[in-house]
Chains A and B, each alone.
Chain A
Amino acid sequence: MSDIVLSAGVRSNLLQLQQTSDLISQTQNRLATGKKVNSALDNAINFFTAQGLDTRANNLSGLLDAMSNGVSTIQAANNGISAITKLVQAAQALVSQAQQANNTVTQAALATQFNTLLTQIGQLAGDAGFNGVNLLANNALTITLDDSGNSSIVVAGVSYTNAQASPLSIANATNNWASASDITTASTALSAALTNLQSESQTLSSSLSTVQIREDFTKSMINTLKSGSDNLTLADTNEEGANLLALQTRQQLSSTALSLAAQADQNVLRLFR
């Protein structure tokens, strides 16, 4: 009774007015945010796709941080190996000096220096860590490569913190290097240690380049994901099909397609004609 009765004409006008104001606010919202799709009510599929892209970009950023840390850890270990290599070379110099010296006093002094160097090698290795992971102190480094966590790289550590123990196995100077055989033993051990350091450095370098490739790829992936969620147009299959047809024609002369063809020519694929 207190209700106002609306005629059919008024009702339809009112409805239209409401729809118009909805559209206005939607347009304003789009202008404000620069995005065509703002809420799940706008266009459900696109909204969730866009949201998914943002989430994924964030997940990938997390991965990227882990990769950068991994790269730093490997680099720290690699620097450690270079420094240890220098110390081993210095020890080699001591050995050749001792081989030339013909008096036991000098030899004993050199032997003491040699032992000090070995201690320094251990300390240096102990300081080669980054972010709590020290590959030279036998810690392993695991780097996750994709956000499902299915793929990862494990970089195994080595134990250089004790120069006397394996794998460096350089024993302390025995008998104050009084006899030639004592000095030869040290010399042989040093050569073996250098070989080991070299091969470890190669292993680290190859892990490093693998991680760096993935790191670069992930960076580009994040950028593309971010621009993708902003560029998301109304996903109408017909519209997309028409866009694809246009792109197909446009790409024929695009620089990207041309460089792709050039890359194929430099590849084994060129044999496949």
Chain B
Amino acid sequence: MGLKVELKPGERFILGECLVTNGDQRTRLLIEGQTPILREKDIMTPEQADTPAKRIYLCVQIMYTSRDQRLHHETYFALMRELVQAAPSSWSYMQDISNHIMAGHMYKALKSAKSLIAYEKELLDNAKRNTSVQRGSEQDRESA
């Protein structure tokens, strides 16, 4: 069972260790085999990865597209520790991602990392909206 990829003119995607760029017309491809495939819309560049969760996504993406993913595990766990210490509630997401990596399902791991980014956005937006209310309640807790 292959993967169907439909490409717009000029659209790019990663196939194994190559970057494939579509010509000037729409193309439909059927790809079979075990090689990593990443569409343009799923690709995160180091410049775009500017939040903790996006860095984790980038790291999983690098693991997915490298020959030896073990080289990147150390970075992955360092990023994961930092994120979880800052936001313990992100555990369930990290657990999903790690489980998929452990089982060798890298594409699923990437998808879980995408939901982690969405969750992080929620938290960040929340924090930007009301930091002052939070500070008060935290002080109460500490003084007790």
A: which residues have CB within 8 A of B? 23, 45-46, 49, 53, 56, 145-148, 150-151, 210, 213-214, 216-218, 220-221, 223-224, 227-228, 231-248, 251-252, 254, 256-257, 259-261, 263-265, 267-269, 271-273
Question: Cβ of B58 < 8 Å from any Cβ of A?
Answer: yes
B46 touches A261 (CB 8 A): yes
A244 touches B87 (CB 8 A): yes
Q: List 9 A-B contacts (CB under 8 A).
A: A46-B88, A145-B103, A223-B77, A234-B141, A238-B134, A247-B82, A254-B82, A269-B43, A271-B14
A231 / chain B contacts, CB cutoff of 8 Å: 84-85, 88
Knowing A214-B102, A228-B91, A272-B19 touch, does A238 contact B133 (C-beta < 8 A)? yes
**Chain A at the B interface: SS class:** helix
Question: Cβ of B29 < 8 Å from any Cβ of A?
Answer: no
6 smallest CB-CB distances across A and B, nearest first, come from A241-B127, A151-B103, A238-B134, A243-B86, A240-B87, A271-B19
Contact of B65 among A147, A254, A259, A268 (CB under 8 A): A268
Contact of B102 among A145, A235, A243, A246 (CB under 8 A): A145
B: which residues have CB within 8 A of A? 12, 14, 16-19, 43, 45-46, 49-52, 55, 58-59, 61-62, 65-66, 69-75, 77-91, 95, 98-99, 101-105, 120, 123-128, 130-131, 133-134, 137-138, 141, 144
A269 touches B62 (CB 8 A): yes
A238 touches B127 (CB 8 A): yes
B51 touches A242 (CB 8 A): no
B134 touches A239 (CB 8 A): yes
Contact of A239 among B77, B98, B138 (CB under 8 A): B138
B69 / chain A contacts, CB cutoff of 8 Å: 213
Closest chain B CB from A214 CB (angstroms): 6
A245 touches B82 (CB 8 A): no
Bound-state Cα–Cα, A36 to B73, Å: 29
Bound-state Cα–Cα, A19 to B39, Å: 58
A224 touches B77 (CB 8 A): yes
B55 touches A245 (CB 8 A): no
A241 touches B81 (CB 8 A): no
Q: Which of A224, A227, A237, A264 has the most CB of B within 10 A?
A: A264
Bound-state Cα–Cα, A243 to B123, Å: 10
B50 touches A248 (CB 8 A): yes
Bound-state Cα–Cα, A272 to B17, Å: 11
Bound-state Cα–Cα, A150 to B16, Å: 26
Closest chain A CB from B93 CB (angstroms): 12
Knowing A145-B103, A224-B77, A224-B80 touch, does A244 contact B62 (C-beta < 8 A)? no
Closest chain B CB from A249 CB (angstroms): 10
A240 / chain B contacts, CB cutoff of 8 Å: 86-90, 123, 127
A239 / chain B contacts, CB cutoff of 8 Å: 134, 138
Task: Give me 11 other A-B pairs in contact (C-beta within 8 A), A244-B123, A267-B65 excluded.
Answer: A217-B73, A227-B81, A235-B87, A238-B131, A239-B138, A243-B85, A244-B87, A257-B55, A263-B75, A268-B19, A271-B14
A241 / chain B contacts, CB cutoff of 8 Å: 87, 123-128
